């Protein structure tokens, strides 16, 4: 239990480190920002570009990813590896991380992982804070979703109503808005962007933040601020490829 809690806590810090990366060390570029690996492939590459002048040392880790109780949970990865586990990238150079499925059994449905790329602190960086020089230790983190699937074509949601692959939503009143639970009843990974809440044809709440991925047969909980208008009856979500889907709220 302590082990699992550690990884959940690790993920919650990801947004903080990403914010630091944007402010102080925006010289690292990671491409692509996610991997979807389907037959006949069993491996793919993530490239890290160091656009700064100084060398950067990175630690690479890979975890099995589940969603339980509406939250992300990590486990040690088995049958899948990320190599090398450490890499030093010179200024102006690229470094490649290879993600490989070593398990001999075939993928059933979708296997979900997260690749965590940490910059290890190795130098002091001069920064100016309110007109005064200050020395800060810079650590950046990138968290990338990695999916191994059994089918060559990606699944996905394409609008609400009958065409939606069993995506549904529940709403529960909370202080300042509503806690929304997104339930993915399909075998595909569904991505949800910004969302808005509607009651009687009027928008009463909106969240500009992307919800993110909802794993197959899983659910994700998130908060949407709202004001007045009564309990929402519908939720509108920005889905893959800029399509907006409308769903009833339970």
> pLDDT confidence of 95, banded at 50, 70, 90?
very high
Query: In the structure, what pLDDT confidence band is assigned to residue 187 with cuts at 50, 70 and 90?
Result: confident
Could you tell me the domains of the chain? 2-149 (2.60.40.10), 161-248 (2.60.40)
Residue 125 has pLDDT above 80, yes or no: no
Q: How far apart are CA 189 and CA 199, in angstroms?
A: 28
Considering the entire predicted model, what is its pTM? 0.75
Across all residues in the chain, what is the average pLDDT?
82
Across the range 69-81, mean pLDDT stands at 95
ω into 40 cis (within 30 of 0): yes
DSSP string, the chain: -HHHHHHHHHHHTHHHHHHHHHHH-TTEEEE-S-EEE-TT--EEEEEEEE-SSS-EEEEEEEEEEEEETTEEEEEE--SEEEE-SEEEE-TT-EEEEEEEE--SSPP-SEEEEEEEEEEPP-SEEEEEETTEEEEEE---EEEEEEEEESSSS-----SSGGGS-SEEEEEEEETTEEEEEEEE-SSS-EEE--EEEEETTEEEEEE-S--EEE-TTEEEEEEEEB-SSSS--EEEEE-GGG-EEEEEB-
Cα 211 to Cα 7: distance, rounded to the nearest angstrom: 20
Cα separation of the two ends of the chain: 32
pLDDT of residue 154: 54
Binned at pLDDT 50, 70 and 90, residue 235 comes out as very high
pLDDT-above-70 percentage for the chain: 77
pLDDT at position 29 over 90: yes
Q: What angle do CA 92, 97, 51 make, to 5 degrees?
A: 15
Question: Is pLDDT above 60 for 198?
Answer: yes
Count CB neighbours of 138 within 10 A: 18
- Determine the pLDDT at residue 18: 39
Confidence of residue 104 (pLDDT cuts 50, 70, 90): very high
Token pair listed for 250: 């339970």
- Given this model, what pLDDT does residue 156 score? 46
Q: Which residue has the higher pLDDT, 5 or 202?
A: 202
As a whole number, mean pLDDT of residues 104-126 equals 84
Q: pLDDT tens digit string along 138-184?
A: 478 999 999 999 987 554 444 444 334 589 999 999 999 999 999 99
Those residues whose C-beta lies under 8 Å from the C-beta of residue 242, and which sit 6 or more positions away, are none
Q: What is the mean predicted confidence (pLDDT) over 227-250?
A: 87
- Match 């009564």 to its residue by tokens: 230
Query: With contact defined as beta carbons under 8 Å apart, do 210 and 193 qualify?
Result: yes
11 has a pLDDT exceeding 90: no
Q: Other CB atoms closer than 10 Å to residue 142's CB: what's the count? A: 20
**Model pLDDT, residue 148:** 96
Tell me the mean pLDDT in the region 47-52: 94
Nearest to 56 by CA among 145, 146, 129, 118: 118
């Amino acid at each position: 239990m302590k082990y699992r809690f550690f990884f959940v806590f690790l993920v919650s810090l990801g947004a903080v480190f990403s914010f630091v990366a944007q402010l102080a060390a925006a010289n690292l570029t990671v491409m692509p920002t996610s991997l979807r690996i389907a037959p006949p492939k069993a491996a793919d590459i993530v490239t890290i570009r160091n656009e700064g002048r100084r060398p950067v040392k990175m630690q690479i880790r890979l975890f099995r990813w589940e969603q339980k109780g509406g939250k992300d949970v990590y486990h040690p990865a088995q049958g899948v590896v990320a190599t090398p586990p450490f890499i030093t990238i010179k200024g102006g150079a690229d470094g490649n991380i290879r993600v490989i499925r070593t398990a001999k059994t075939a993928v059933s449905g979708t296997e979900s992982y997260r690749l965590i790329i940490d910059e290890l602190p190795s130098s002091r960086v001069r920064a100016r804070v309110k007109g005064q020089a200050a020395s800060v230790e810079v650590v950046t983190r990138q968290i990338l979703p990695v999916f191994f699937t059994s089918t060559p074509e990606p699944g996905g949601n394409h609008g609400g109503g009958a065409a939606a692959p069993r995506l549904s939503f529940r709403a529960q009143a909370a202080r300042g808005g509503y806690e929304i639970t997104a339930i993915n009843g399909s075998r595909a990974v569904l991505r949800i962007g910004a969302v808005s809440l509607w009651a009687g044809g009027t928008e009463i709440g909106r969240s500009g933040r992307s919800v993110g991925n909802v794993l197959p047969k899983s659910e994700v909980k998130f908060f949407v601020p709202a004001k007045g208008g009564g309990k929402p009856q519908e939720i509108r979500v920005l889905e893959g490829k800029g399509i907006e889907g409308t769903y009833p709220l339970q």
